[in-house]
Each structure stands twice: as structure tokens, then as C-alpha cells.
Amino acid sequence: MEQMATVYLFGKKYEVPSSLTIMEAMEYSGYQLVRGCGCRNGFCGACATIYRIAGDRDLKACLACSTKVENNMYVAALPFFPLVKEVYDLEKLTPSETVMMQLYPEIYSCVGCNACTKACTQGLDVMQYIACAQRGEFDKCAELSFDCVMCGVCSSRCPAGISHPQVAMLARRLNGRYLAPDCAHLRTRVQEVRDGKFEALIEDLMDRPLAEIQELYNNRDIEK
């Protein structure tokens, strides 16, 4: 028989196979997930979850779709965290230090506790990319935050109320619009997409079995 684990979901005790992820354990236990399940593959950040293991006082954060259950795990899903999202026109901004002071001044209240980095579900150095944003080093901030999935767990643990994912998004936009080298090849490809050059190819792919699409992807020609 498959090894089982004892988990507590929303205060109730369940016995589930130890091979399951937290999300799979919820469904195994009878929960129908209609929110917070998103891509189910660790990319969308919708399934932010906190948990403790019995006997361990540390509160841990993770994505439920990509974290395996542990014995005596106490689980609680996080609702969508209300990040501060400022409205701006990228074409009217400049990549200067003052832009962060204007839009996200709370980043300068960072106390250096590093709770954001410890909580990050992707293992990013969140405090460091916020420091880069403070200094106006938007290229470095963009690089360090590239794998952010906007789950908001970092912000939920921040005593200064920083909206880390939104700060990172602004830095990546500034970097892409003003700082990164121009790419003629990319502009050409975008125009081809707008002209509908690939519509027939996409329709053909949509009619193929998933296994065949995966095979095509795994054996594609990768441009150097």
C-alpha cells in the first residue's frame, strides 16, 4: 500500500498519499478547487499557501501545486493578497531613481528584515532586488526578479507594506522599454504576429494531440 501522511486542511484532519502535492491532497480529500488553482504548474502564483509542521514553530510559505505534503502538516490557503498597484503611463516615465519615489515610496522604508526573501515561493533574493530598485538599478532589479510569479507572499510578510511584485514589474518594464538593447529580430517577429503569419500554424497545432505537441516542443530547433 502507498505510504500515507496525516495533513490538516482548513482545520480538519485527513489521511492522504504522501506522494501528493498540497493541491492534489485537497482534491483527494474532497475539496473542489475553483479558485486559487490557476496553472497547476508553479507559474501563475495563484495557489499561495502557508503551513506549519507539528512541533516546528516556523510558519512556511509555498505554492500548493508544487509542494509535496508532509506528515502532520497544517495547511491554510492564502486569499489573494491586495498588493498596491499604481497606475502609470510607461511612455511618460523615465528610468531615474525618482520614479520609484513617486510611485512606490514605501520601498525606502525597508527595515532589512529579509522576511520577504525567506517567504519567497521561488527562492528569489527579494530584499536585494528591492535594494536595486531603491538605487535606480532597474536592470539588476529586473534580472533578480525575473522569475517572480506575483503570488504576493513576500508582501504578506513585510512590516513596511512594500508591494514587492509590483515594484519588480515596474523595474522590468522600465528596463525593457528604456535600458535593454534594441532587438531588431524581436520587432520583426512581433510584426509577423500582428500580420497573422502564424495563425495557420497555431490552428494546426491546436488540432494535434498533446503528446505530439510536447514531442515537437522537446525536439524544436533552438536559435543560437
Q: What is the CATH number of domain 90-179?
A: 1.10.1060.10
pLDDT at 66 over 70: yes
| Domain formed by 4-77, architecture | Roll (3.10)
Average pLDDT, the chain: 92
- The arithmetic mean of pLDDT across residues 50-58, rounded, is 92
* For residue 224, pLDDT beyond 70: no
How many CB atoms are located within 10 Å of the residue 26 CB? 26
Q: Write the pLDDT tens digit of every residue in 145-202.
A: 999 999 999 998 899 999 999 999 999 999 999 999 988 888 899 999 999 999 999 9
Using CA atoms, how far apart are residues 46 and 79, in angstroms rounded to an integer?
A: 9
pLDDT tier, 57 (very low <50, low <70, confident <90, very high otherwise): confident
Q: Where in the chain is the domain with CATH 3.10.20.740?
A: 4-77
Rounded to whole angstroms, what are the CA distances from 202 to 33, 197, 210, 213?
A: 30, 10, 13, 11
SS3 (DSSP) at 62: strand
pLDDT score recorded for residue 1: 62
- Average confidence (pLDDT) over 6-31: 95
pTM: 0.77
